[in-house]
A and B are shown apart, each in its own frame.
Chain A
């Protein structure tokens, strides 16, 4: 699947990371995040090492730092939450710059920030080196129930179409002088949502007709089989294993 285009999150490239079979990448990312989450928060250096590991992956995958950092912005709401923690948490308190902060709150904030950021960074790396289509094949290969994969596949195929319909409806609303300012506009928004639902549902029915017209009987025919060699697996799993070593060190030191 070389030809160029996929979701805006994907960064086209031919790095070794791009070339790995999708299910190995999914498994590696998931294992990595699990390891990160199970690391004790007191082992601050461990999180530094995780960040270095991810930076290495980003380097190998030729994902520029700016791209990665920009995508990390999704985390902002939780940063706000984390910043609040030292103020509201219970327990022993310390004075920092004249503010009384909870020690456990500080730890909690650090914990959420460190683990959350690493988790987001890992997912961003996965999404930017794997095409949507491949992600679905990977999920299928990892034995996610086929029906779930099909639903996800339809969601992705029609996500754009429906978002586009929503955008057109918004333009139509706005070109007639509508502006969502307050509670009084909820009715209009809801009517749009209702219309959007009817359109989505009816499209679902038409798609279903088109599918059974071509011989669909409840299960998708297998067109692509993705396989991974032992070498590819071990290459992909280097990341979580390295992380696991760090994690074990974190627990024992």
Chain B
């Protein structure tokens, strides 16, 4: 890469609009940018266009207006293979993601499609499985793992491609609390850019310093996760609700500003 004064962001989305062939328009001009190494949560109610946005990031959906750049490379027909290597998407249901007969082959699928083979491929697979702590399950068929293990293998399949940015669709869904924490530890230990699409606001707060709120096909808010989650008006306007008794201010160690209101929620939560 050429040295430039300003570092190239991992992901840059500008003016993205898209309508499905059935006429339903999902995105109405989305703009945001994520710097290298950042962990960002993408929050939004059902039907806000989150999945549609994700599918634009590696060029599965195209044909609307606007641009997406991944580490400076425009998403388009001519670089599709490189873009798909750089953007690693972990889908919501690990059963969709793990389509090969064994864990090892599944993790090897992406790098092998990119042309890697032999010991180099094997080494890549081992490293990816190691990073999610699933090395000893290498030769097992995916459908015989627990749900949490499958989700971790799904993350490994994407890590094996050494992506520029890791995109996770609802990573915490259907996980029991222990698996949830293990996944959080894994995600924190990675040194890649992470975009996490989620409804799970506490999880977003725990992992991502910054959040974007996608609502009605546009970015409605962009800022520090703790601040966004504390903004009751914003939250209500975009159908975002914290779990019963959860107070972001208490979690982040910020003293509650309005004692009366916060006290009640703390009491309920404790």
Chain A residue contacts of B144, Cβ below 8 A? 5
- Does A136 reach chain B (CB closer than 8 Å)? yes
Determine if A212 and B101 form an interchain contact, defined as CB atoms under 8 angstroms apart.
Answer: no
Chain B residue contacts of A224, Cβ below 8 A? 105
Determine if A223 and B112 form an interchain contact, defined as CB atoms under 8 angstroms apart.
Answer: yes
Determine if B143 and A161 form an interchain contact, defined as CB atoms under 8 angstroms apart.
Answer: yes
Determine if B91 and A2 form an interchain contact, defined as CB atoms under 8 angstroms apart.
Answer: no
Given contacts A136-B101, A154-B99, A161-B95, contact A212 B84 (CB under 8 A): yes
Binary A-proximity of B199-225 (CB < 8 A = 1, otherwise 0): 000000000000000000000000000
- Does A206 reach chain B (CB closer than 8 Å)? yes
Chain A residue contacts of B110, Cβ below 8 A? 214-215
- Does A213 reach chain B (CB closer than 8 Å)? yes
Q: Which residue of B lies closest to A219 (CB)?
A: B113
Chain B residue contacts of A154, Cβ below 8 A? 99
Given contacts A213-B84, A222-B112, contact A153 B101 (CB under 8 A): yes
Q: Nearest Cβ distance between residue B170 and chain A, in whole angstroms?
A: 13
CA of A203 to CA of B92, assembled, Å: 12
Mostly, the A contact residues are helix
Interface residues on B, range: 35 or more
Q: Nearest Cβ distance between residue B218 and chain A, in whole angstroms?
A: 24
Q: Nearest Cβ distance between residue A131 and chain B, in whole angstroms?
A: 9
Given contacts A154-B99, A212-B60, contact A5 B141 (CB under 8 A): yes
- Does A209 reach chain B (CB closer than 8 Å)? yes
Determine if B100 and A207 form an interchain contact, defined as CB atoms under 8 angstroms apart.
Answer: no
User: Which residues in chain B, 148-177, are within 8 Å of chain A measured between CB atoms?
Assistant: 157-158, 161
Chain B residue contacts of A221, Cβ below 8 A? 108-109, 112-113
- Does B58 reach chain A (CB closer than 8 Å)? yes
Determine if A132 and B55 form an interchain contact, defined as CB atoms under 8 angstroms apart.
Answer: no
User: Which residues in chain A, 193-228, are within 8 Å of chain B measured between CB atoms?
Assistant: 203, 206-207, 209-217, 221-224
- Does A147 reach chain B (CB closer than 8 Å)? no
Determine if A156 and B101 form an interchain contact, defined as CB atoms under 8 angstroms apart.
Answer: yes
Determine if A213 and B101 form an interchain contact, defined as CB atoms under 8 angstroms apart.
Answer: no
Chain A residue contacts of B140, Cβ below 8 A? 3, 5
Determine if A223 and B108 form an interchain contact, defined as CB atoms under 8 angstroms apart.
Answer: yes
Determine if B108 and A213 form an interchain contact, defined as CB atoms under 8 angstroms apart.
Answer: no
Given contacts A136-B101, A209-B91, A210-B96, contact A215 B84 (CB under 8 A): yes
- Does B240 reach chain A (CB closer than 8 Å)? no
CA of A230 to CA of B81, assembled, Å: 40
Q: Nearest Cβ distance between residue A161 and chain B, in whole angstroms?
A: 6
Q: Which residue of B lies closest to A156 (CB)?
A: B101
Q: Which residue of B lies closest to A202 (CB)?
A: B96
Determine if B60 and A223 form an interchain contact, defined as CB atoms under 8 angstroms apart.
Answer: no
Chain B residue contacts of A153, Cβ below 8 A? 100-101
CA of A207 to CA of B95, assembled, Å: 8
Determine if A215 and B141 form an interchain contact, defined as CB atoms under 8 angstroms apart.
Answer: no
Determine if A214 and B157 form an interchain contact, defined as CB atoms under 8 angstroms apart.
Answer: yes
Determine if B100 and A157 form an interchain contact, defined as CB atoms under 8 angstroms apart.
Answer: yes
User: Which residues in chain B, 68-121, are within 8 Å of chain A measured between CB atoms?
Assistant: 81, 84-85, 87-89, 91, 93, 95-97, 99-102, 105, 108-110, 112-114, 117, 121
Determine if A160 and B143 form an interchain contact, defined as CB atoms under 8 angstroms apart.
Answer: yes
Determine if A133 and B96 form an interchain contact, defined as CB atoms under 8 angstroms apart.
Answer: no
- Does B139 reach chain A (CB closer than 8 Å)? yes
Chain A interface (Cβ < 8 Å from any Cβ of B): 1-3, 5-6, 132-133, 136, 153-154, 156-158, 160-161, 203, 206-207, 209-217, 221-224
Q: List 23 A-B contacts (CB under 8 A).
A: A5-B140, A133-B102, A133-B141, A157-B101, A161-B143, A209-B60, A210-B89, A211-B109, A212-B84, A213-B58, A213-B87, A213-B88, A214-B84, A214-B161, A215-B84, A215-B85, A215-B113, A216-B109, A216-B113, A221-B112, A222-B112, A222-B117, A223-B121
**Closest CB pairs A-B (n = 10):** A221-B112, A215-B113, A214-B110, A3-B139, A206-B96, A133-B101, A221-B113, A210-B97, A213-B89, A223-B108
